[in-house]
């Protein structure tokens, strides 16, 4: 799980061409985020009912829609506030997750890929129809467009200068990777502080990579 999230963050940072490398980003991201959320929700379920969720709950009730899973996690975070051992810091972590305007678009991209996007082009070949859903690459374009239009440093795209454009895109994608890394860190910290129950105070340590420092984006906007 933490390996998937680590590799997902790094894959976004090193992304050059979505048409060539997007599948790697979307695969790692969709699986890594889904696993992390389900572990947190599972710990929360143990706290509430005393037992780990059934296979039916994991597969059918929770499913693979990362957008929906993220909403369930947000609800669990709200309910876990009273259980936190460091309320003030926990609220800051929770606000960092809920306040991100990039994460919902990124998770929508992962959700689209996890739903059927990985087979998008095969479906087009099989049916000779584009289908009703946009390809995952277009979801990704929405993520990048959002960052460009909401953060001043990315507003001007240096078209016509290949080197400057490559550097701009590298910084842009690094910024997107920062958001995922910040989410990963916040979920880990909320876990070890008991936000999802006593079990997660132990399991929460298994989410974050040992020796990895606090993301600079957390410190920057603290």
Mean pLDDT of 97-120: 85
- Cα angle value 170/171/177 (rounded, 5°): 90
* CB-CB neighbours of 115 under 10 Å: 18
- Is the predicted pLDDT of residue 122 greater than 50, yes or no? no
User: Which tens digit of pLDDT belongs to each residue from 137-147?
Assistant: 999 999 999 99
Helix (H) or strand (E) holding 203: helix 200-203
CA–CA distance, 151 with 190 (Å, rounded to integer): 27
Give me the chain's average pLDDT, please.
89
Residue 119: band (very low, low, confident or very high) from pLDDT cuts 50, 70, 90:
very low
The pTM assigned to this predicted structure is 0.89
User: Which tens digit of pLDDT belongs to each residue from 5-15?
Assistant: 999 999 999 99
Cα dist. 95→17, 40, 88, 186, 217 in Å?
32, 17, 11, 10, 14
> Which residue from 98, 107, 105 is spatially nearest to 144, judged by alpha carbons?
105
Percent of the chain with pLDDT over 70: 88
Per the document, the length of the chain is 222
E-assigned strand segments in the chain: none
pLDDT of residue 129: 56
107, two tokens: 């998770």
């Amino acid at each position: 799980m933490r390996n998937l999230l680590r590799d997902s963050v790094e894959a976004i940072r090193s992304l050059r061409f979505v048409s060539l490398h997007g599948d790697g980003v979307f695969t790692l991201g969709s699986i890594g985020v889904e696993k992390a959320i389900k572990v947190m929700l599972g710990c929360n379920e143990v706290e509430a009912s005393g037992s780990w969720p059934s296979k039916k709950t994991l597969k059918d009730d929770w499913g693979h829609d990362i957008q929906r899973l993220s909403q369930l996690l947000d609800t669990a975070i709200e309910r876990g506030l009273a259980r936190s051992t460091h309320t003030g810091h926990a609220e800051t972590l929770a606000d960092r997750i809920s306040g991100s305007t990039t994460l919902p678009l990124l998770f929508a991209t992962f959700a689209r890929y996890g739903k059927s996007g990985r087979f998008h082009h095969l479906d087009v070949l099989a049916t000779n129809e584009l289908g009703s859903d946009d390809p995952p690459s277009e979801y990704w374009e929405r993520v990048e467009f959002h960052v460009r239009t909401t953060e001043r440093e990315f507003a001007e795209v240096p078209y016509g200068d290949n080197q400057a454009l490559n550097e701009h895109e590298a910084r842009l994608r690094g910024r997107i990777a920062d958001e995922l890394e910040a989410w990963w860190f916040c979920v880990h910290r909320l876990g070890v502080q008991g936000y999802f129950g006593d079990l997660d105070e132990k399991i929460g340590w298994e989410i974050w990579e040992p020796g990895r420092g606090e993301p600079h984006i957390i410190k920057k906007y603290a």
